[in-house]
Structure 1
């Protein structure tokens, strides 16, 4: 008998940490287990064929908002092709409405609810023994003889007893290594699944340092902490950062998600000592509207938050990523404009404009009627409208998001963007909104564009603006050439000059 642990990642560079935890928890049966990671970009027929030809007795899927639809479709077809193959699913997309999910999807035989390491270990033992003693496994819901059986919830795991997931399973060199030093989050943001767990469970500092030392020894490219709030304990955070500084191999990069309110002077001092590229920090701002922040259980002291973020950005050696979420309570279109402008002026390396997802199990999903939410019924359950912002307003923000990603987050337009916003005497939001209207009016959203075409489109927009602000296009053309020369290789710039500025 053979068991497959599998998932569909969002991108090739991603890897699935949950599968590695499960494999290591049942490692004594590793000869009976395979791990295969696919992506949502793989063809359905390719994935299906690989799974069928593997001659598996059970296929275990790790399920998330980005893969649940494809995963269910695959499971249905696998079950049709080979009814004896057992299907197990786990992960957040099946943990919060498990009974309803099993009733709806007859192809699924088992669901692991919540954390799965101990549950999976017991499942594998029972499955390989063929004694079908699934009724004793806490945290398992299963189908047998046409009936659904719901076992009691699993006990909260001692995180330190969960094995290191990379002992045998270090990913390929070109993939991100995901690492977890803490489970749970001290904060209760109403849109986040981490707010459901009431406990924070850190690994001992000595173990974290030992495991990070393994990554440093292996010269992995990037280690991305999935801790929801890496600096929830300032002293612990600073000790980990100091360990990385003291053992820097000159290659590995570390990514943390931090709370801007908890940044202290020692953290800033340590970051300031790092080589450029050693650290990346991600800071969720989400909104600058105090009513919004209160409604979703976040700190309302935005002045302090923004000041701390500026201090990190001013260091100049730490890649900084900031977020806003559109569609939160009390954030109408005008309010979101203010939030956008306040965050944009920070000058972070990446500025992500995201859209609220009403995830299963979250408080904000329970409050959907309070705020008159309309959202997509299928994953990723993204907001369509609420009582504060219309569907048309959300669509306009999606247009802005597209242009922000193309021109700000992809890089290569620093001089031009700074000049254009100042020259046109408009706010950053007004600029991106106007550029988006021009971009969509010309139909450029209907096809993908090479980097050099984005320069041509920007120049075309500048020529359009030149009618009311004469001289703008000439200066913008000069700045675009400077930005292009800094960004593209010389051969690409030569080809650009040969073709010229016209998109035709």
Structure 2
């Protein structure tokens, strides 16, 4: 039997780690097991043709919020083209309502819930030999005219027994390499599916270091850890940081998601010794409103979080990405403004203004009625409104997100923004709110813009406020230090008028 593992990644530079784990686990149980990745940006006809001509007996899709709708469409068409092909779905987007999904989509034959390193080879063996599927824990499947649900949910796998996922594949130096050194999360945030697996399972530190050495030896551009809270255990974290600093090849970057509460003097002292660009940290602050944080079960001292992030930023040798989530309980437009200003003041390299997604399986989705949530019916299930913030206010925040990404996160406007956000409004939030109002009132949202046109748009905004003479010199300095010499010359020939 020929089985294909596949998915649609959000971008080409991304790759799917889960499929690599499944390939390693199932290759001995399948007569022929292949892995093929696409992206959501590939044309539907291209992916469809590739799947049909692959001539597989089963196609197994890894499903997430960014690809589930496209996968269901492809799977339905694939079943029409090849009626005898078996369709198996797995992943977080199908693990929490598998039985309902099978009832709604007759073209799906199997759904594998939870972690698959044990149950996937059990399914492979049954599929290959034509025997009962009862052994495959967490499998939901069609059995003639009925839907069968195997008894008991799949237990968390012994992560130490899982093979290094890259031993079967060439290293793709043009893609981000995803890596896990632990699974599970010690925290209970109500909006996160990682909170459902409360037992942290870590690989032995020496094994982690050996596997990271493989990436360093191959000169991988970026290794992104999928650990939900990498620094949950101090000594282990310090050991790995010290190893990476000592083995630094001068080019590889390592990305970690960390909890700011757990940073301390010793950890910051170790990080101070890292090469600039060796580490990148993502820190989910989400809100600075204590009532909101209690409601979503996030522990910690807000003041300590902000202080620790500020100290990490001050080191100046790591890219720092901080997150806010709009739409959490007890966070109205006014209090979100306060959270934004608190976090903006940290001076992080990137401030992601995200919007709550009511993911399947999460506590906040189950408590949706309690807080009056309305949310989009299809993935990614993003908030529309709740009893604290209106749909119109959410849309206004989306407009602010747009200009924040274009100007602050994209970079190249540092000198101008530092002064403008201080001089043109009471707070940084108010400045970006004004900039968003101008950007959208002029219709700039209707088309994409080259970087040089963003300078022109910003000058037009200053002109509307009667402050162009104050900020034009700063814009020119930002322009000249950001763009190459030829681009600056071309810009000056065209002038500052936005066409």
TM-score bracket, shorter-length normalisation:
over 0.9
Is residue 31–residue 128 contact of structure 2 (8 Å, CA) maintained in 1? no
What residue is the counterpart of 2:139 in the other structure?
140
Q: Tell me the residue number matched to 2:494.
A: 499
- What is the alpha-carbon distance in structure 1 between the residues aligned to residue 479 and residue 171 of structure 2? 35
Alignment deviations for residues 388-435 of structure 1 (CA, whole Å, 9 cap, x no partner): 000000000000000000000000000000111222242100000000
Query: Alignment partner of 1:73: what SS?
Result: helix
Give the CA deviation at 1:160: 0.4
1:417 aligns with 2:412: no
Instruction: Pick which of 112-121 and 420-429 moved more.
Output: 420-429
* Structure 1 residues 173-192: aligned runs within 5 Å: 173-192=173-192
TM-score by length of 1: 0.97
The superposition leaves residues 136-167 of structure 1 with CA deviations (integer Å, 9 ceiling, x where unpaired) of 22111111212111002223211101111000
Distance (Å, rounded) in 2 between the aligned partners of 1:485 and 1:30: 58
- Match in the other structure for 2:89: 89
Aligned residues: 498
Alpha-carbon shift at residue 14 of structure 1 (Å): 0.5
| Equivalent residues of 2:187, 2:198 under 8 A apart | no
Q: Measure the CA separation in 1 of the matches of 2:295 and 2:175.
A: 37
Unpaired runs of at least 5, structure 2:
none
User: How far did 1:475 drift?
Assistant: 2.6
Give TM-score, length-normalised by structure 2: 0.98
Give, in whole Å, the separation in 2 of the partners of 1:427 and 1:154. 50
How is 1:87-236 mapped onto 2 (pairs within 5 angstroms)?
A: 87-129=87-129, 131-152=130-151, 153-236=153-236
Equivalent residues in 2 for 1:361-380, closer than 5 Å = 361-380=361-380
SS in 2 for 1:285: strand
RMSD: 1.0
In 1: Cα distance, 2:328 partner to 2:423 partner: 32
Q: Deviations over 1:359-385 (max 9, x none)?
A: 000000010000000001110000000
Residue 18 of structure 2 is matched in structure 1 by 18
1:404-443 alignment to 2 at 5 Å? 404-443=404-443
Aligned to 1:469: none
Equivalent residue in structure 2 for 1:474, among 436, 456, 469: 469
Secondary structure, in 3 states, of the residue corresponding to 2:392?
A: helix
Unaligned runs of 5+ in 1: 467-471
> Alpha-carbon deviations, 1:304-362, whole Å to 9, x = none?
10000011100010110000000000000000000000100100000000000000000
Deviations 1:266-288 (A, max 9, x none): 21111110110000001000000
* 2:327–2:355 CA contact under 8 A, matched in 1: yes
| Pair 1:301 & 2:270 matched | no
In terms of mean alpha carbon deviation, does 136-145 or 6-15 score higher? 136-145
Point out 4+ residue stretches in structure 1 off by more than 3 angstroms.
none
User: Do the aligned partners of 1:15 and 1:171 also contact (CA within 8 Å) in 2?
Assistant: no
Is the Cα–Cα contact under 8 Å of residues 293 and 299 in structure 1 kept in the other structure? yes
